[in-house]
């Protein structure tokens, strides 16, 4: 009998968790019976639902019972005690996509939830190191699209030869470093360095405020959500990610696959993906003077790009196969 896997997320937005579910479901498609379920329609993105429907049965849970072999809990801020009565599985996996305890109410603080998890899967060593539970987590890095190089060659963006060409691929929201990006733009202007900044992505409540803050800079172009962001990254000098925090930044790995170095802040997981002055530039989170980092970006541009050429990333699919097919404790009572 085919193994049934259910991925639960509170809602389906155009975010990192949804992208991870999509890419893993795509890889598992045809091998397992996959459902992606959610409980809230607030901010539900129909485009994401459409994409996920290619590889899974996507629907909202109201009062129905969903029986499955494996439940993967992708969102850790909800009423688990009620929902577990509806999503019933003999095996349960907590998939931790963010630093635990950033917000109050994380289920990793709930001993019953932790006890009932057969595995706690962390997307980085940094996340694993933040776990403060009696059950040890394992690290399985996020999936990457296997056709990134192919997609990047479809109508790639052409940038000016005489400018520093930067690209950001991010949700337009607080915490993603747009305040720091303004400092970077201001520094480039003050140093009279020609530049072009492409910002790929859309936002929620903060989108218009963020766009308005960049109005003084004609060098900044917002292109919105793109199904194929890789065509914008391919010919950039740097991918820029100046977030307050990232558990594991997919866009950094994607940029390296495309041979593009990165400029990042020193959020906790950054050093797992970036080696300073080897394949990118790391800026301290508290830094407010970007002048020296701009100089480094200009003087090291060729060397950093040469260093990142040929980067290979292997999706850890075998780890997921083992997680799904490992023997479980028994049926949920």
Counting the structural domains of the chain, the total is 2
Residue 333, in any domain of the structure: no
Q: Are residues 92 and 158 in the same domain?
A: no
Q: Which residues of the chain have pLDDT under 70?
A: 1, 101-103, 326-333
- pTM of structure: 0.89
What is the Cα gyration radius of the chain?
Answer: 21
CA distances from residue 92 to 6, 14, 19, 326 in whole angstroms, order as listed: 10, 25, 21, 12
Q: Are residues 136 and 169 in the same domain?
A: no
The pLDDT value recorded for residue 1 is 53
Q: Are residues 183 and 129 in the same domain?
A: no
The pLDDT value recorded for residue 205 is 78
Q: Could you read off the pLDDT of 31-54 as tens digits, one per residue?
A: 999 999 999 998 898 888 999 999
Helical residues (DSSP H) of the chain, grouped into ranges:
16-28, 46-52, 80-83, 111-116, 125-130, 148-152, 178-190, 207-213, 230-233, 250-257, 270-273, 291-299, 301-308, 317-325
The pLDDT value recorded for residue 79 is 85
The pLDDT value recorded for residue 101 is 62
Q: Could you read off the pLDDT of 68-81 as tens digits, one per residue?
A: 999 999 988 888 88
Q: Are residues 155 and 103 in the same domain?
A: no
Which domain covers residue 291, as residue numbers?
148-308
Alpha carbon distance 196, 323 (integer Å): 44
């Amino acid at each position: 009998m085919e193994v049934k896997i259910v991925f639960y997320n509170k809602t389906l937005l155009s975010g990192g968790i949804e992208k991870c579910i999509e890419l893993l479901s795509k890889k598992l498609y045809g091998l397992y019976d996959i459902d992606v379920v959610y409980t809230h329609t607030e901010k539900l993105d129909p485009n994401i639902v459409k994409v996920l429907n290619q590889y899974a049965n996507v629907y909202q849970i109201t009062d129905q019972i969903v029986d499955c072999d494996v439940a993967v809990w992708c969102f850790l801020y909800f009423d688990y005690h009620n929902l577990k009565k509806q999503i019933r599985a003999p095996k349960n996996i907590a998939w931790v996509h963010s630093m635990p305890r950033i917000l109050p109410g994380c289920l990793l603080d709930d001993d019953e939830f932790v006890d009932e998890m057969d595995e706690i899967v962390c997307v980085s060593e940094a996340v694993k190191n933040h776990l403060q539970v009696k059950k040890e987590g394992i690290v399985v890095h996020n999936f990457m699209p296997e056709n990134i190089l192919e997609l990047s060659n479809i109508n790639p963006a052409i940038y000016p030869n005489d400018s520093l060409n930067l690209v950001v691929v991010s949700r337009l929201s607080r915490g993603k470093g747009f305040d720091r990006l303004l400092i970077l733009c201001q520094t480039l202007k003050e140093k009279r360095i020609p530049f072009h900044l492409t910002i790929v992505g859309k936002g929620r409540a903060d989108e218009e405020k963020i766009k308005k803050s960049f109005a003084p800079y004609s060098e900044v172009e917002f292109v919105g959500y793109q199904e194929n962001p890789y065509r914008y990254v391919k010919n950039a000098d740097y991918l820029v990610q100046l977030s307050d925090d990232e558990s594991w930044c997919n866009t950094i790995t994607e940029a390296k696959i495309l041979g593009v170095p990165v400029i990042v802040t020193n959020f906790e997981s950054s050093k797992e993906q970036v080696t300073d002055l080897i394949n990118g530039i790391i800026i301290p989170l508290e830094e407010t003077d970007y002048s020296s980092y701009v100089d480094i970006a200009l003087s090291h541009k060729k060397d950093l790009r040469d260093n990142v050429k040929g980067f290979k990333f292997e999706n850890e699919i075998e780890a997921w196969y083992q997680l799904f097919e490992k023997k479980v404790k028994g049926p949920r009572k």
